[in-house]
Chain A
């Protein structure tokens, strides 16, 4: 294993079924089992901080970082409320959250901690922390997913988080909560009949998993725009989780990839994958995107893909 402050990167899906009712579908159970495997992989490292980036937590005012020391609630998912309530109590690292905000600001990002009793922590984060860190052995921070952020801002966010890890001297595990294809069944289904929503989604998921299995994290990051166009319901401007993950982990293909599960959860491509820093590169880097160090505001460049015209941004005119 390559000596790196980020000991492990973990991709997990965020829907509640593997937590609340894995027994209803063999695939959901396999995802649950894979969560357990990933937990053991984390436990085998000396990681001291968990960095959670959840695509289930949208933000607008820059990047929000959860810093309430012990968030506690009885949570109900707004869609799958009939699966039951989830009691949780987590342990955050407020100091590390503040450090991350400082590092974000140093790179030009707008960021703040949120530390309020009762703050609505998202389903994806709850499922991930319940299953990957059940006894709160390792403290965590949770980073939001800014709705409007595109690639440059996401890459800089990842680098800012990396700065925080390196300057803290802590060993970290990075948990990214996201489905691959996110098209879910919009009708009630018999859980036993669950399947990936479309063959096209499945093919794109398979392509990404093939790369991830070879440790080609940076290549997957570089393909994010295309994946967004092909296999995502475009609720936000872009598909960001691999930009963030690759940026935190060093923007290369130097990993041992371990695909622990890939199953449909209510039609979505739900994979559990771990990435461990390795000595050998998988090669075939697809570096064709730029590598920004600082965020200087939205340049409002024309994108290849259809995106609504957002108009001038506030920070662009100096307010």
Chain B
């Protein structure tokens, strides 16, 4: 081997290999760079890891954070008890109502059964009338055959008896006075019957029935005329709960005038056409 040849060989051995590796290395680097800087490709790589982590977190979440969350929630409840109760009232109301509705359905089925068993002349008369008018027999017995109507609605602060808002078809009465008087009547009846837990829920007066729905810091009194039917009462209850939840809770924190305005316009919105689409 000549001196020159040997040198080339040596260079080849020393550098060629190096070049190759370096190129390979550069390729890898550029690949990596590509993966890191292009979102899609990065996601492709990382997503499975994230998915795994998320899945495991989901399983371990109650253990990991349960105690802190419980602590935070119970602290929140303790610190804002009134708000929580206020928020729960409509929900509880609805739950109780559901239960009662099902109990009434049972009762009404019993009435039906009784009707089937009854062979008296009175029963036949009712039955014939029911066939003619197409009204279920039980409804004919229960309702007084007069369409029920809402005359007035009062939203009243408990204790003070201050009117928070109202709805009226004829604006003939002094609503502040009625609100205060209703509060006094309620206080009287509830105290007279030592009803710490029982609250007055309706007053019959002349041809009017005043339905009272109690909430924590206020009550709603609805003055109705005509025969109160199950369906009407039911719809009224639903609408009142809905109204309490959607309008009253939001209006609660506003200042006095804004509050009264909101409640009153809310009442109009909810009850203007209440009787019509019966």
A-B complex is real: no
Chain B residues near A (Cβ < 8 Å): none
